[in-house]
Structure 1
């Protein structure tokens, strides 16, 4: 529980970074690009490709597509300026997606805590929770101007990790095999890819700073790959 709580609270650190100064259009384009880079690289490398190698193509792909199918946004590619309402909605959506992502991570930390890699896994998860806090807090702060709301929403999302750990330890431990855990993570990876394609990319394009968005994508992907390398 301690390891999962510390890892989850790393989202608060990311939120503090995001609200230090209210982001303008250029900063939002970069931060949304970071989100795309972080989420797609994590989803493909760690939650999909690695799972395919270890557990087989068909079942993992089915779990990933099932997760992707849960995002049914109809107007994600509509033209127009990024409004406060859409930014707030985006922040809440990101918090929801990250909560779904963090719950099985809490499962993973709880299971790994019984092995020697428990602290390493918690550290790696905590590192990539920092940019997750940024991508939740930045649009909420831009929409509402409230630092406290942005930080609280990001923190609440991060604290789903110890909730996931508690569920795993108290209720699911007899049934939570490594294979089932990896398929659950693959499903959350599908959710994150769908959010990137249907939500983040169109919103980032509306900021009118494509160069900054692409820089963010590269930076986010590099940051996530470094995190995964350090946690390997």
Structure 2
């Protein structure tokens, strides 16, 4: 297997397993550092939005224009971009509300008050959340893998951004599962497994997309990746950042993420 493929798979695995970090934090800290988490989620959104619009979309457009001509390439890029948004939006709609990973949890949610809730309901909520995150992580895995395959620097940036956003999702799985079962091991295991769908997405991409990779398929896939990244940033990361802190911290994090990404890309010109 080529080294760049192994590197892309390793990055995707790292990003996916960040849900385990969220689970670990839920068990070994007494409170959530909401300010830090808010800035981190804003930073992650800034990285994703900037890199999607400045780098990934442009690469997709160049690839499609070279294969289909100016008009066909431009239309195909826009179609792929909004197609990626529609895909992730459709996945979001199919997930039951109680299991939606957008309903983020804090470590403080593991309080005595929550123990009064029915254990079967908590177990169901945690299981649905784990399933929802697994479904969400699948296209994210494809996005990370495809980006790392084309440009390792790009792949690292996306993997780090996705890893940051997977941490609170790990908390969202662990909190209800722990209270339903009383087992930290079970809660951590389910949280950990929900992140494995990300490298699974990368493996599927490698097995089924790599043989057909040309300028057109690469361009459409990259445009779709850009759409997925922007949708996740606007629909998930920024709202979550605001829920953790209602001041300007999420926006400061967003700007910092964009600035860091801009500088890192300029350094490799």
Fold conserved between structures, TM > 0.5: yes
Mean alpha-carbon deviation: is it higher for 15-24 or for 214-223? 15-24
**Structure 2 portions without partners, runs of 5+:** 27-31, 66-72, 94-99, 106-127, 176-186
Residue from 199, 206, 209 that aligns with 1:158: 199
Q: Is the 8 A contact 2:22 2:170 kept in 1?
A: no
Task: Give distance in 1, aligned partners of 2:129 and 2:45.
Answer: 13
- Name which one, 1 or 2, has greater alpha-carbon Rg: 2
Larger RCO (CA under 8 A, 6+ residues apart): 1
Q: Which runs of no fewer than 5 residues in structure 1 stay unpaired?
A: 75-82, 113-120
Q: Give the alignment's Cα RMSD to 1 decimal.
A: 3.6
Aligned length, in residue pairs: 211
Question: Contact 2:14–2:159 (CA<8 Å) still a contact in 1?
Answer: yes
| Higher helix proportion (structure 1 or 2) | 2
Q: Residues 164-203 of structure 1, C-alpha deviation per residue, up to 9 Å, x if partnerless?
A: 112234xxx2x32122212111122112222322333223
Greater mean deviation of Cα atoms: 23-32 or 175-184: 23-32
1:81-119 CA-partner distances (Å, limit 9, x unpaired): xx9981178887665455314325545666x6xxxxxxx
TM-score (normalised: structure 1)? 0.69
Contact in 2 for aligned 1:33/1:214 (Cα 8 Å): yes
**Contact persistence 1:91–1:138 (CA under 8 A):** no
Given the two structures, how large is their TM-score scaled by the length of structure 2?
Answer: 0.61
Q: 1:226 to 1:101 in 2, by over 3 A?
A: farther
Which residue, 12, 17, 24 being the options, matches 1:8?
12
- Give the deviation of 1:129 after TM superposition: 0.8
Partner of 1:217: 254
Partner of 2:75: 58
